[in-house]
Structure 1
Amino acid sequence: MFKITAIALLALSASTSVFAADAVQQIPQAPAAVEIAPFSWSGAYVGIQGGGGWLDADFSTGFGSATEDFNGGIFGGFVGYNWQFSNGFVLGIEGDADYNWNEQDDLFGLPGLEAGTEWSGSVRGRLGYAFDRALIYGAGGWTATRAYLETPFDKESETFSGWTIGAGVDYAVTDDVFIRGEYRYNNFGDKEIAPGLNVDLDQHVVKAGIAIKF
């Protein structure tokens, strides 16, 4: 009787061990952790932009002065490069070129007298701070524009150059594409655009853009 009982206990113990081993083998393994690299603003980019500009022109001669507003649309492109540091700060350099639609007909109420600016551009340094995919930045540097004064008989053009400063926000909608909103103030300085006629130009600009990041 004792032998039968011992054999039964041994058989039960062996079967329990087999079931326990099967249970251990059937427990699924936890998936391996996948590290997602944080987004970085470092690298080159190129994009297009458009918006509106509000340009003030102060004309002066030996006989007096007058102010005219030249407002209109702006469209162009930009290219740049960013370096992002481990503390979240981003340093960059950017250049852009735009065309301005801001001509004014019958300047000073004189029929046939037209003025405005055509191409403008800038080279700016940028400093910003990245909140993951959002980059808030300030920028400043050199700017220039081509202004003209046209009569029925002649056209005078001059290139004005000065300084620009502004701020904006870039937001990465994907790893390779970002959108932008920006405000800028341009001071183009003053110059004689026609004999005896001096003009001082400054401009406020609001732009939106989209770019591809490499």
Structure 2
Amino acid sequence: MHKIIALASAFLLTSTAMTMAADLIEQSAVPPVEFETPAFTWTGAYVGISGGAGWLDGSTTKARRFHDEQDFDGSVFGAFAGYNWQFGNGIVVGVEGDIEYNSNDEKFFGYRTFGTDWAGSARGRIGYAFDRLMVFGTAGWTMANGHIQYGGIDKSETFSGWTAGAGVDYAVTDKIFVRGEYRYSDFGTKEIVRGMNVDFDQSVVKLGLAVKF
């Protein structure tokens, strides 16, 4: 009889201890922590480099009677910098400036060589972000240095006008993005030498690589 009572008591104590241990384990178990990956944003400053091809159409009028038109093909290479603000609805607005080597040379009237050395712009941008892909339009002010050479004379003038275009930015990582862009620029008209007015505009296709801060 005493053995039966002892066995029953031991069983009861063991069951109670196991129940208490299970309760302690359940209470001490820490639920797993879930980390949310922050959504990508285009907001911030950036700097980059770009290069591509340019197609310039130029015309000149001499002494208000003689007229000549030429097509210029060349290359562009330079740097750009800007800042974007992204809103909750996916709209992105920003400002951007660039400066680039812009090489185009051709002859007017068979002996006067006209070309460009550099070009730059200051523009506004507006786009729409599909997460890491952003399509954008851009427009603003532009300028370029045009030069003319003939008979030992080498003279240059700074032309200014307007520019507009569109492109795509794609963020490869949170800090690096690539770009494809087309832009049209009308640099206006100037009397680069006495009695000779030069007018030119240019289409440019560029690829770029930038770092976002």
TM-score over 0.5 for the pair: yes
- The residue number in structure 2 matching 1:127 is 126
TM-score scaled by length of structure 2: 0.88
TM-aligned CA deviation for residue 19 of structure 1: 4.1
> Would you say 1:139 and 2:138 are equivalent positions?
yes
Aligned length: 210
Q: Is the 8 A contact 2:53 2:75 kept in 1?
A: yes
> Would you say 1:50 and 2:51 are equivalent positions?
yes
- The residue number in structure 2 matching 1:187 is 186
- The residue number in structure 1 matching 2:38 is 37
Q: Is the 8 A contact 2:69 2:108 kept in 1?
A: no
How far does the alpha carbon of each residue in 1:137-171 deviate from its partner, in whole angstroms, 9 at most, with x for none? 11100001111110131012111111000111111
TM-aligned CA deviation for residue 189 of structure 1: 1.1
TM-aligned CA deviation for residue 15 of structure 1: 2.8
How far does the alpha carbon of each residue in 1:103-162 deviate from its partner, in whole angstroms, 9 at most, with x for none? 22x54433xx32111110000001111111112111100001111110131012111111
- The residue number in structure 2 matching 1:157 is 156
Q: Is the 8 A contact 2:160 2:187 kept in 1?
A: yes
One-letter identity of the residue aligned with 1:49: S
Q: CA RMSD in A?
A: 2.2
TM-aligned CA deviation for residue 16 of structure 1: 3.7
> Could you tell which deviates more after superposition, 15-24 or 157-166?
15-24
Q: Percent identity, aligned pairs only?
A: 50
How far does the alpha carbon of each residue in 1:54-74 deviate from its partner, in whole angstroms, 9 at most, with x for none? 000011232232210111110
Question: CA, structure 1 residues 76+14, in 2 after alignment: closer, same or farther (shift >3 Å)?
Answer: same
TM-aligned CA deviation for residue 180 of structure 1: 0.9
> Could you tell which deviates more after superposition, 22-31 or 181-190?
22-31
- Equivalent-residue separation in structure 1 for 2:203 and 2:179 (angstroms): 17
One-letter identity of the residue aligned with 2:92: V
SS in 2 for 1:33: coil
TM-score scaled by length of structure 1: 0.88
> Could you tell which deviates more after superposition, 15-24 or 31-40?
15-24
Question: CA, structure 1 residues 22+116, in 2 after alignment: closer, same or farther (shift >3 Å)?
Answer: same
Question: CA, structure 1 residues 6+145, in 2 after alignment: closer, same or farther (shift >3 Å)?
Answer: same
- The residue number in structure 2 matching 1:95 is 97
SS in 2 for 1:12: helix
Q: Is the 8 A contact 2:149 2:155 kept in 1?
A: yes
TM-aligned CA deviation for residue 21 of structure 1: 5.2
Any stretches of 5+ residues in structure 1 without a counterpart? none
Please give the residue correspondences for 1:68-87 in structure 2 after superposition, counting only pairs within 5 Å. Answer: 68-87=70-89
> Would you say 1:15 and 2:17 are equivalent positions?
no
